[in-house]
Amino acid sequence: PGRDSASAFSLGHRPAMADWFWVRSVLYFAGELQRRHRFEWLMSYLDLVIELDPDFVEIYRWGGTALILRTNKVTLEDVRLANQILEQGATRFPDDWGLAHMAAANCSYYISKPSPQEKLELDACRRKFLQLAADRPSAPFYISLSLAALDEGDEEKYCALLIDSYLRTSSDPVLREQVERRMKSGMCTKTVDPSILRSYQKRFDAAWNAAYPYLEPDLFVHVHEIEPGPEQEESLNESR
């Protein structure tokens, strides 16, 4: 149904109706992944759930990810659509830094060999959303570090900070596999080899548990340096 008719059918129970369509959207997305990969109704589902319950924060996070994961070759238009949803959420939730940070990551990971005009747009996108995230009161310190790295033109440091934040916030193994496979196309290509990511995660967990298990991971990264593994050193040497 359209947004107006869905609102009428809810009989005043808009969040409950939003939950129902949220479940339908997830099932629809999973079905399309297994069958046609067309996803022509995905944006309609997202718009419908947001219209019915704009305070359901997870629909923005999920939408900003699903619009990327629906294709094996992410285009700039995919990034624009995903970030449109994330920006709606960031506007609705002014204290949430994570939605804006997700949008900055979308502009960094996925676009392979952008044209000069696309590169300018992606760079502006990264700066816009990182600044938006950094301005939120609850934003962790590494957001400001990422913004400073961009201002300094240090893409390697920016990518390292971005990957580090991804490792600490992503726990779903299926989602991680899907995201990592697409991450190999963008500006951080040399930093995001999935085997290096998994190796870093293991070494991070081991070092954290051995040294400062009582600290939050977000603080631990600022008091303890994780030594690179042999495969990471090899990758960095090749990039030089």
pLDDT in tens, 28-60: 888 887 776 778 888 888 998 998 899 999 999
- Alpha-carbon distances, residue 45 vs 18, 29, 36, 38 (angstroms): 10, 10, 17, 14
List the one residue out of 185, 183, 218 whose CA is nearest residue 197. Answer: 183
- Is the pLDDT reported for residue 187 higher than 90? no
Q: What is the pTM of this model?
A: 0.69
Report the pLDDT averaged over residues 64-74: 84
Quick one: pLDDT at residue 140? 86
Backbone angles phi, psi at 167, to 5 degrees: -60, -35
Question: Could you tell me which residues come within 8 angstroms of residue 162 by beta carbon, excluding any fewer than 6 positions away?
Answer: 104, 105, 108, 109, 146, 188
Contact between residue 83 and residue 63 where contact means Cβ atoms under 8 Å apart:
no
Neighbours of 213 (CB within 10 A): 9
